Protein backbone atom coordinates (compact mmCIF):
# COMPACT_ATOMS: atom_id res chain seq x y z
CA UNK A 1 0.00 0.00 0.00
CA UNK A 2 1.24 3.46 -0.90
CA UNK A 3 0.75 6.04 1.84
CA UNK A 4 0.57 9.76 1.07
CA UNK A 5 0.44 12.22 3.98
CA UNK A 6 -0.85 15.74 3.39
CA UNK A 7 0.62 17.78 6.23
CA UNK A 8 1.20 21.33 7.38
CA UNK A 9 1.40 22.57 10.95
CA UNK A 10 -0.46 25.72 9.92
CA UNK A 11 -4.23 25.75 9.75
CA UNK A 12 -5.92 26.91 6.57
CA UNK A 13 -3.17 25.65 4.28
CA UNK A 14 -5.53 23.47 2.23
CA UNK A 15 -4.64 20.05 3.65
CA UNK A 16 -8.18 18.67 3.73
CA UNK A 17 -9.02 20.00 0.28
CA UNK A 18 -5.85 18.49 -1.21
CA UNK A 19 -6.28 15.17 0.62
CA UNK A 20 -9.93 14.66 -0.36
CA UNK A 21 -9.42 15.67 -3.98
CA UNK A 22 -6.24 13.60 -4.30
CA UNK A 23 -7.90 10.53 -2.80
CA UNK A 24 -10.87 10.77 -5.15
CA UNK A 25 -8.66 11.45 -8.19
CA UNK A 26 -6.55 8.37 -7.45
CA UNK A 27 -9.71 6.34 -6.90
CA UNK A 28 -11.04 7.42 -10.31
CA UNK A 29 -7.97 5.78 -11.93
CA UNK A 30 -9.26 2.45 -10.61
CA UNK A 31 -7.16 2.24 -7.45
CA UNK A 32 -8.61 1.12 -4.13
CA UNK A 33 -8.18 4.12 -1.79
CA UNK A 34 -8.90 4.90 1.85
CA UNK A 35 -8.88 8.42 3.29
CA UNK A 36 -7.48 8.75 6.81
CA UNK A 37 -8.64 11.65 8.97
CA UNK A 38 -5.93 12.32 11.54
CA UNK A 39 -7.33 15.66 12.63
CA UNK A 40 -9.31 15.52 15.91
CA UNK A 41 -11.49 18.29 14.43
CA UNK A 42 -12.77 15.66 11.97
CA UNK A 43 -13.20 17.75 8.81
CA UNK A 44 -12.78 14.75 6.50
CA UNK A 45 -15.33 12.78 8.51
CA UNK A 46 -17.74 15.71 8.30
CA UNK A 47 -17.11 15.95 4.53
CA UNK A 48 -17.79 12.22 4.11
CA UNK A 49 -20.98 12.36 6.21
CA UNK A 50 -22.59 14.95 3.94
CA UNK A 51 -22.80 12.64 0.95
CA UNK A 52 -25.17 9.69 1.24
CA UNK A 53 -23.42 7.67 -1.48
CA UNK A 54 -19.88 8.51 -0.36
CA UNK A 55 -17.54 6.60 -2.72
CA UNK A 56 -14.44 6.97 -0.52
CA UNK A 57 -14.05 4.99 2.68
CA UNK A 58 -12.93 7.27 5.52
CA UNK A 59 -11.36 6.17 8.78
CA UNK A 60 -10.13 8.19 11.75
CA UNK A 61 -6.77 7.77 13.42
CA UNK A 62 -6.36 10.95 15.41
CA UNK A 63 -3.74 9.70 17.85
CA UNK A 64 0.03 9.51 17.24
CA UNK A 65 -0.19 5.80 16.37
CA UNK A 66 -0.77 6.15 12.62
CA UNK A 67 2.40 4.30 11.59
CA UNK A 68 1.52 1.41 13.92
CA UNK A 69 -2.21 1.18 13.30
CA UNK A 70 -2.62 1.97 9.60
CA UNK A 71 -1.36 -1.41 8.36
CA UNK A 72 -3.48 -3.26 10.91
CA UNK A 73 -6.68 -1.41 10.12
CA UNK A 74 -6.34 -0.99 6.37
CA UNK A 75 -5.63 -4.12 4.38
CA UNK A 76 -5.80 -4.70 0.66
CA UNK A 77 -5.93 -1.03 -0.32
CA UNK A 78 -3.69 0.42 -3.03
CA UNK A 79 -3.44 3.84 -1.39
CA UNK A 80 -4.02 5.51 1.95
CA UNK A 81 -4.22 9.30 1.93
CA UNK A 82 -3.68 10.91 5.34
CA UNK A 83 -5.22 14.31 6.05
CA UNK A 84 -2.98 15.84 8.69
CA UNK A 85 -3.90 17.93 11.68
CA UNK A 86 -2.56 21.46 12.28
CA UNK A 87 -0.57 22.21 15.42
CA UNK A 88 -0.08 18.51 16.20
CA UNK A 89 3.62 17.66 16.20
CA UNK A 90 3.18 14.07 17.43
CA UNK A 91 0.51 13.33 14.80
CA UNK A 92 2.72 14.80 12.07
CA UNK A 93 5.68 12.67 13.12
CA UNK A 94 3.46 9.57 13.19
CA UNK A 95 2.07 10.35 9.71
CA UNK A 96 5.59 10.96 8.35
CA UNK A 97 6.71 7.59 9.69
CA UNK A 98 3.80 5.91 7.89
CA UNK A 99 4.17 7.83 4.62
CA UNK A 100 5.89 7.02 1.36
CA UNK A 101 5.25 10.57 0.21
CA UNK A 102 4.62 13.77 2.18
CA UNK A 103 2.81 16.64 0.48
CA UNK A 104 3.00 20.00 2.20
CA UNK A 105 0.49 22.48 0.76
CA UNK A 106 1.56 26.06 1.35
CA UNK A 107 -0.31 29.29 0.71
CA UNK A 108 1.76 31.80 -1.32
CA UNK A 109 2.86 34.11 1.49
CA UNK A 110 6.17 34.46 3.31
CA UNK A 111 4.48 33.76 6.64
CA UNK A 112 3.09 30.45 5.43
CA UNK A 113 6.43 29.42 3.94
CA UNK A 114 8.22 30.28 7.19
CA UNK A 115 5.65 28.37 9.23
CA UNK A 116 6.28 25.29 7.09
CA UNK A 117 10.02 25.09 7.77
CA UNK A 118 9.62 23.20 11.06
CA UNK A 119 7.53 20.53 9.32
CA UNK A 120 10.02 20.19 6.46
CA UNK A 121 12.74 19.60 9.07
CA UNK A 122 10.78 16.58 10.37
CA UNK A 123 10.85 14.79 7.00
CA UNK A 124 13.69 12.23 7.04
CA UNK A 125 16.70 12.90 4.89
CA UNK A 126 16.05 16.59 4.30
CA UNK A 127 18.37 19.30 5.62
CA UNK A 128 17.72 19.81 9.31
CA UNK A 129 16.42 16.23 9.76
CA UNK A 130 16.28 15.69 13.54
CA UNK A 131 16.33 11.92 12.88
CA UNK A 132 17.24 10.46 16.22
CA UNK A 133 15.26 13.04 18.19
CA UNK A 134 11.92 12.17 16.60
CA UNK A 135 12.26 8.87 14.82
CA UNK A 136 14.87 6.90 16.71
CA UNK A 137 17.55 7.77 14.16
CA UNK A 138 15.63 6.28 11.25
CA UNK A 139 16.83 7.11 7.75
CA UNK A 140 14.83 6.99 4.54
CA UNK A 141 14.64 3.48 3.12
CA UNK A 142 14.51 2.75 -0.62
CA UNK A 143 11.16 3.96 -1.94
CA UNK A 144 10.85 6.50 0.87
CA UNK A 145 11.34 10.25 0.69
CA UNK A 146 14.79 11.47 -0.24
CA UNK A 147 16.10 14.99 -0.71
CA UNK A 148 16.20 16.29 -4.28
CA UNK A 149 19.26 18.44 -3.70
CA UNK A 150 21.63 19.70 -1.08
CA UNK A 151 20.29 23.23 -0.59
CA UNK A 152 17.75 24.06 2.10
CA UNK A 153 15.22 25.40 -0.43
CA UNK A 154 16.15 22.92 -3.19
CA UNK A 155 13.42 20.40 -2.38
CA UNK A 156 11.63 18.74 -5.26
CA UNK A 157 8.91 16.15 -5.36
CA UNK A 158 9.73 12.48 -4.99
CA UNK A 159 7.43 9.93 -6.55
CA UNK A 160 6.29 6.70 -4.91
CA UNK A 161 9.21 4.73 -6.38
CA UNK A 162 11.63 7.08 -4.61
CA UNK A 163 12.66 8.89 -7.79
CA UNK A 164 13.16 12.58 -7.15
CA UNK A 165 13.26 15.40 -9.62
CA UNK A 166 15.72 18.21 -9.10
CA UNK A 167 15.26 21.84 -10.03
CA UNK A 168 16.38 22.94 -13.48
CA UNK A 169 16.42 26.68 -12.80
CA UNK A 170 19.97 26.74 -11.47
CA UNK A 171 18.84 27.60 -7.95
**Strands ordered across the beta sheet of 101-103:** 58-60, 33-37, 79-83, 2-6, 101-103
**Run of H or E residues at 65:** none
Q: pLDDT averaged over the chain? A: 75
Contact 106, 21 (CB under 8 A): no
In the three-class reduction of DSSP (H, G, I as helix; E, B as strand; rest coil), residue 139 is classed as coil
Contact 99, 83 (CB under 8 A): no
Q: Would you say the pTM of this structure is higher than 0.85?
A: no
Q: How many CB atoms lie within 10 A of CB 10?
A: 21
Q: Which is more confident, 16 or 115?
A: 16
What average pLDDT does the segment 31-58 reach?
A: 92
Contact partners, residue 100, CB within 8 Å, separation at least 6: 2, 3, 4, 143, 144, 145, 160
DSSP state of 141: P
What average pLDDT does the segment 148-170 reach?
A: 39
What pLDDT was estimated at residue 119? 73
* CB neighbour class for 131 (10 Å; exposed up to 12, middle 13-18, buried from 19): middle
Amino acid sequence: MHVIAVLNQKGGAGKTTVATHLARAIQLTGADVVLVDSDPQGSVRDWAAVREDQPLPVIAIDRPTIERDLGRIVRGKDYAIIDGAPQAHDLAVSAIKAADLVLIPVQPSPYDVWATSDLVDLVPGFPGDPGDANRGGSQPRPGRLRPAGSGGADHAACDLSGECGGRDDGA
